Amino acid sequence: MSKSREKGVKISEVKIKGLLVEKGVKISENQKVDELSSKGYGVAENDGFLLTFYEALYLLDREQIEVEDKKGGKVDFQSLLKRYKSVEKDAWSKYLVYRDLRSRGYVVREGFGLGVDFRVYERGEYGKNTAKYLILNIQEGKPVTVEKLAHIMKQCQSLKKELVLAVTNRRGEIVYYSVSQLTLA
């Protein structure tokens, strides 16, 4: 048996090929779209399957996809990150939080647009139940007003979701804080 097989590396596994587009990375329908979707990646579009930039970065880093530009040139991690930064000012921080949550075994999806960055499903619950947590990404040194936190907290409570702050420090380390409303009786 070869050394690579002993370490659990799949030699014959074909990487999924994606095309860099304006909103992320598009995967053609004839590839492993069902497998990606069942694991909580991407969204179906009328002419393919779209991965967000952070999903594509994660899969590219794990060597599960290859990304090309419209001219057929190979897109590496740094080039994809640079493109993501052109449309999202907190791209690196969002990617770090996404990568950390995924590496812990959670399925992470786009936020609801309530000011939260991600929806997170309990392990094994994706496709069975709704997301339990809503994640707000906060970077050390970039203040967030109490009013904004209170507004987001109120929206989370109305959806019966738990708000979690993902605070990324300057070294890229992430600490998670559960947020709840204090009621004095």
What is the reported pLDDT for 11? 33
Residue 1 domain flag:
no
Q: Domain ends where: 87, 113, 146?
A: 87
| Both tokens assigned to 147 | 């009013």
What is the reported pLDDT for 10? 41
In order along its 185 residues, the chain shows pLDDT tens digits of 434 434 444 433 668 999 999 999 999 877 788 889 889 999 988 778 999 999 999 999 999 999 999 999 999 999 999 999 999 999 999 999 999 999 999 999 998 777 899 999 988 889 899 999 999 999 998 998 989 988 999 989 889 999 999 999 999 999 999 988 766 56
Q: Domain ends where: 72, 87, 102?
A: 87
Does 115 lie in the same domain as 55?
A: no
Does 175 lie in the same domain as 98?
A: yes
| Both tokens assigned to 56 | 């594509």
Q: Domain ends where: 53, 87, 121?
A: 87
Q: Under 8 Å CB-to-CB from 43, ≥6 apart: which residues?
A: 49, 50
What is the reported pLDDT for 67? 95
CATH of the domain at 146: 3.40.1350.10
CATH of the domain at 37: 3.40.1170.20
> Concatenated DSSP letters for 48-114?
EEEE-HHHHHHHHHTTSEEEE-TTS-EE-HHHHHHHHHHH-TTHHHHHHHHHHHHHTT-EEEE--SS
Does 96 lie in the same domain as 168?
A: yes
Does 95 lie in the same domain as 82?
A: no
Segment 10-58, tens digit of pLDDT: 433 668 999 999 999 999 877 788 889 889 999 988 778 999 999 999 9
Tally of domains in the chain? 2
Asked whether 110 and 79 are in contact (CB, 8 A), the reply is no
Does 102 lie in the same domain as 61?
A: no
What is the reported pLDDT for 182? 64
Does 118 lie in the same domain as 75?
A: no
Does 119 lie in the same domain as 75?
A: no
Domain encompassing residue 77 = 11-87
Strands 48-51 vs 24-27: parallel, antiparallel or unpaired: antiparallel
What Rg, from alpha-carbon coordinates, does the chain have?
Answer: 18
